[in-house]
Amino acid sequence: MELKLDLDKEYGLVLEGGGAKGAYQIGAWKALKEAGVKIKGIVGVSVGALNGALICMDDLERAEEIWKNIDYSKVMAVNDDTIKALKKKDFKSLGLAELINSGLQIVKEGGFDVTPLKNLISEVVGDGERIRNSERELYTVTYSVSDRKELTVDVRAGERGSVKDMLLASANFLAFKNEKLGGKKYMDGGGFNNVPINVLLDHEYKDIIVIRIYGWGFDKERVVKIPDGVNVSHIAPRQDLGGILEFDKTLARKNMTLGYYDAQRFLYGLCGKVYYIDAPNLEPYYFDRMMSELELLKYYIKDIVTEEGMETLAGYRIFTEKLFPKLAEEFKLKTDWDYKDMYLGLLEDLAKRLKVKRFGIYTVESLLLEIRKKIKMQEEVKPLI
């Protein structure tokens, strides 16, 4: 595989807010780190600020440990079993009095008690000196309720011991109990600027990577003008990452894995909508492969194939004029699809239907090999059309 990113450059990282979805960002960072991408600075909002602190400290091991073991009670003062039962709508396992009392207490206190999150932040950043002494810049965005204005905070420039308060100020989600920090009240910055690319632009970053998790809040990137000479790239999920407050370790581990492989797709120009396929050749190569592997196409044909099999079909027109346009619709290919798109769509569809393991980097040859192994293991693959 050929790396598509210039490792001689230094990059700025934008980390969106999105609560429990933040595990995805750590998976993506792991891939960037393994590839040797130099990160000069980070701007993060809410969970992006907390992950940004870990990246600023270059503590991947701690970041993975936190997200692999995350639970509701690690963030909020709640009972994990109660939250999980509510999530499953398993009301029989909950005492009615317990449920009512818990709900009333949360309302009375003005939101979820986030003492566990405060303790976690304090444990991770300590007195903040590792961040203050880091070579990487770290910015957060929050909203000062007391001053009624959005604030951008240079975390490294803060007073000694103030780092954890700055991070918590950015992560004060609306559902959380809002307590004063340093005599003032703050609100999650995501509601006002959840993709704060403008902060890095203001600090004259020329190469920026945005890691999207599609959290709640205002996407300021949509209204920011990107200056000439600035390169902005995105790593983004193609599937739902779950709820903002869905602090479940199983989901977090899946999202970290997804972030890791989505970053690999970005780094190495991998193809595929669901799978991760190294396919560097041009369109004619894939057309020739498709026409030499006609046994795969039989799974997509009913009426136009005779009992004698695929070899009875003369010429390519029956494929190019009848079958492939139908498959393009089924595979949801872009309107200007080419035969490379078609071949990869064919492989991906078969792989999904045969339940080939998704996470891994495949060549077209290795993915085809896995497909053929699966076909041998089952008697029939039902035709698609």
Domains of the chain: 11-268 (3.40.1090.10), 276-381 (no CATH)
pLDDT exceeds 70 at position 97 = no
| pLDDT tens string 345-373 | 999 999 999 999 999 999 999 999 999 99
Count the helices and strands in the chain (H runs, E runs). 16, 9
Strand partners, 41: 12, 137
Mean pLDDT, rounded, for 15-21: 93
pLDDT exceeds 50 at position 6 = yes
What are the tokens at 180?
């004063």
Q: Residue 10: exposed, middle, or buried by beta-carbon count in 10 A (0-12, 13-18, 19+)?
A: middle
Q: What is the DSSP string of 355-372?
A: T---SSEEEHHHHHHHHH
Strand partners, 363: 278
More confident residue, 163 or 328: 328
3-state SS, residue 73: helix
| pLDDT tens string 143-154 | 877 777 888 889
Distances (CA, A) of 366 to 92, 105, 290, 343: 49, 56, 15, 14
**Maximum average pLDDT range among 100-104, 328-332, 354-358:** 354-358
Identify the pLDDT of residue 103: 44
- Is residue 304 within 8 A of residue 318, CB to CB? The reply is yes
Longest dimension (CA), the chain: 82
Q: Which of 184, 137, 193, 149 is nearest to 165 (CA)?
A: 184
Q: Is 146 a catalytic residue?
A: no
**Average pLDDT score over the chain:** 84
pLDDT exceeds 70 at position 34 = yes
| pLDDT tens string 188-232 | 777 888 999 999 999 999 999 999 999 888 888 889 999 999 999
Q: Is 292 a catalytic residue?
A: no
| pLDDT tens string 144-183 | 777 778 888 899 887 766 788 888 777 766 556 555 556 6
Identify the pLDDT of residue 355: 93
The number of beta carbons lying within 10 Å of the beta carbon of residue 146 is 12
Identify the pLDDT of residue 67: 95
Identify the pLDDT of residue 376: 81
Mean pLDDT, rounded, for 113-135: 87
Identify the pLDDT of residue 183: 66
Helices 60-68, 249-268: crossing angle, 10 deg rounding? 140
Residue type at 308?
A: E
Distance CA 147, CA 149 (A): 6
Identify the pLDDT of residue 100: 42
Distance CA 265, CA 5 (A): 12
Identify the pLDDT of residue 308: 44
Least confident of 101-105, 196-200, 300-304: 101-105
Q: Which of 9, 23, 20, 29 is nearest to 76 (CA)?
A: 20
Distance CA 325, CA 137 (A): 51
Choose the catalytic residue: 134, 162, 188, 341. Answer: 188
- Is residue 369 within 8 A of residue 287, CB to CB? The reply is no
Predicted model pTM: 0.87
Residue type at 122?
A: S
Residue 292, Cα to own-chain centre: how many angstroms? Answer: 37
Dihedrals φ, ψ of 260, to 5°? Answer: -60, -50
